[in-house]
Amino acid sequence: MNGVETAGPNAEQIKFWNSDGGANFVRHQTALDGMLGPYGRKAMAAGGLKNGDVVLDIGCGCGDSSIEMSRRVGTTGEVVGVDISEVMLQRAEDLAAHQELTNVFFELADVEVDSMHRDSFDLAFSRFGIMFFNDPVVALRNVHKVLHDEGRLAFTCWQTLDKSPWIALQMQSVLPLLAEEDRPAPADPNAPGPFSFGNPDRLNKILTEAGFCNIQMEPYAPSVALFGLKDMEEVLDFALEVGPAKAFFAEMDKKTTATARDAVRAAYQPYLTDEGVVMEAAAWIVTADKT
């Protein structure tokens, strides 16, 4: 795989997803794919994925969606998964090779700045991989260009942070334990990140400026067992390793870390069921046409 431009507009994201961010996803791939898979399948259905389609999978990560779509499009179709994380793409390639798939390919590429090797995709797709661009209009214009005239776009992205309590509760539990000077400034909701497409008016404007039409956004908020785990302590281990509170734990002493863990446990406790910690996690299922 050729490298991506590490000094480009998405340098910070490239650094993150080629270090702890990507490594954590690889390590916990099975659990994360189990939790996120239903969202991706909902977007595949909304996008009309069918046999023979040629598909671009944006931010394909460890390849779960790409591999699933490669089976759905059959031998006459093809899937090209692109991502900025070399470590995640290596896992994707290993999984595809293990399953002896011949119609799915992976490229290390930044859609905002890199040229795609073809310009005749039937469908551009993403499962939570499309919200991290420095300039989303530029990135989505590039996506628009590589679709053929009847091409379509389908993706899933998170709604606003307050609609994902499994993350919001982490922050609300941990922040009071930090010294005032250690607390981060309020995040810009439009900055690159998992919730940057949460505002539907902003998202509609971005897609329109990128050239898309017939834009549809369907709310999808299933109740999910966090990470597919039933044990509260395992859920906490996982959440505090991949969630936003991880960075704060690195700065805490052992006593404060234990207190913070107890605080998150207390916040999650009302959602504990026989199936695990079950909460709604609200996303948008978005579709649009090129013309």
| Tens-digit pLDDT profile for residues 102-157 | 999 999 999 999 888 778 999 999 999 999 999 999 999 999 999 999 999 999 99
The residue ranges of DSSP E strands in 193-273, in sequence order, are 213-220, 223-225, 272-273
Per-residue pLDDT at 3 = 60
275 has a pLDDT exceeding 60: yes
Neighbours of 276 (CB within 10 A): 20
C-alpha R_g of the chain: 19
Per-residue pLDDT at 20 = 85
Amino acid identity of 284?
A: W
Per-residue pLDDT at 193 = 92
Per-residue pLDDT at 50 = 98
**Rounded CA gap, 6 and 14, in Å?**
6
Domains, the chain: 11-161+188-223+281-289 (3.40.50.150)
Per-residue pLDDT at 154 = 99
Mean pLDDT for the chain?
92
218 has a pLDDT exceeding 80: yes
Neighbours of 15 (CB within 10 A): 13
**Rounded CA gap, 146 and 124, in Å?**
9
pLDDT digits (tens, 9 = 90+) for 183-205: 877 889 999 999 999 999 999 99
pLDDT digits (tens, 9 = 90+) for 41-77: 999 999 999 999 999 999 999 999 999 999 999 999 9
Closest C-alpha to 242, from 260, 231, 226 = 226
Per-residue pLDDT at 246 = 75
More confident residue, 279 or 118: 279
Per-residue pLDDT at 152 = 99
1 has a pLDDT exceeding 60: no
More confident residue, 20 or 262: 262
Per-residue pLDDT at 133 = 96
Q: Are 108 and 1 a contacting pair, CB within 8 Å?
A: yes
**Rounded CA gap, 270 and 94, in Å?**
40
